[in-house]
Structure 1
């Protein structure tokens, strides 16, 4: 490596650090010229109050960041308040839903009991109606049997009377029936 550096130096490839030769306070010395340019640059920056502007800009930025942080804290607190409010509302709604479900269950039980009672009443009414129909049918059957028996008895009595009665007795009965009707009509 040393051989390579010595070779490059001997060929004329010198670095800028090696170019500064001679007295330091000379304008031919690049290190001195760079130092003076740097000091002038820093002086110009101080003359135009650039550090103060940079500090002010940084202060303004810090104030802006602080304001944003305060706003973010306020928003966070507001969000937490809203969250707590919504959680309370959710609990209230859930409790209300549970009350509604419980009320609906009791209403359903009451409606089922009412339907059962109505069904029992309906069954009792239908049974009573059926019993009335049975009694009516029995009465009608008994009447029909009696009517038939009366018809048969009248026919039998007619036959018996017709066989045993003479014409004179028949005329006597007819005259008695006419007299009886005449007495009842007048």
Structure 2
């Protein structure tokens, strides 16, 4: 036995078995396995959380893209409505301007017609007065006496009433 007890390899093997026996007695492998299991579980939980956050981010991205598309459509609708309103207002302004020009033209034509009628009446009155005066002179030169004077006065008053 001396040979075996003096052998270094034997003592290394004994120390090895004692070391492992002591480790199992103290429960070190179980603790190490528990720590590894808890660490593995924590990593798995973190991966699950990361996956959930990624899905949430993708969902938010889809929602924002949908909202952006809706906002772009709404902006296009607003621009289209504004363009239609501007065209309608321009058309109304053009119609009002045409109506204004038409009314002003009609008013000017009415004033011109009135001025023509007034000028015509004034010319007619002047012509009548001139004709009456000329007739009066002619008749006074040809007819003399009191009868002539009353006839001229009566005739002139008749001519004035009929011409006017």
Q: TM-score, with normalisation over the residues of structure 1?
A: 0.57
RMSD between aligned residues: 3.8
Gap regions ≥5 residues in structure 2: 1-5, 156-164
Alignment of 1:27-106 (within 5 A): 48-106=26-84
Match of residue 118 from structure 1? 96
Match of residue 158 from structure 2? none
Shift of 1:122: 2.4
Question: Is 2:110 the counterpart of 1:132?
Answer: yes
Please point out which of 155, 160, 174 is paired with 2:133.
155
CA distance in 2, matches of 1:173, 1:132: 43
The answer to which structure has the higher helix fraction is: 2
CA distance in 2, matches of 1:170, 1:50: 166
What secondary structure, in the 3-state scheme, does the structure 2 residue paired with 1:95 have? Answer: helix
Summarize the Cα distance change of 1:45–1:152 in structure 2 as closer, same or farther, 3 Å threshold: farther
Q: Deviations over 1:35-77 (max 9, x none)?
A: x7x9998877655544433433333233222222211211111
Summarize the Cα distance change of 1:83–1:163 in structure 2 as closer, same or farther, 3 Å threshold: same
Please point out which of 107, 124, 129 is paired with 1:146.
124
Gap regions ≥5 residues in structure 1: 1-22, 26-31, 178-186
CA distance in 2, matches of 1:157, 1:45: 161
Higher Rg of the two aligned structures: 1
Higher relative contact order (CA 8 A, sep 6+): 2
Summarize the Cα distance change of 1:69–1:156 in structure 2 as closer, same or farther, 3 Å threshold: same
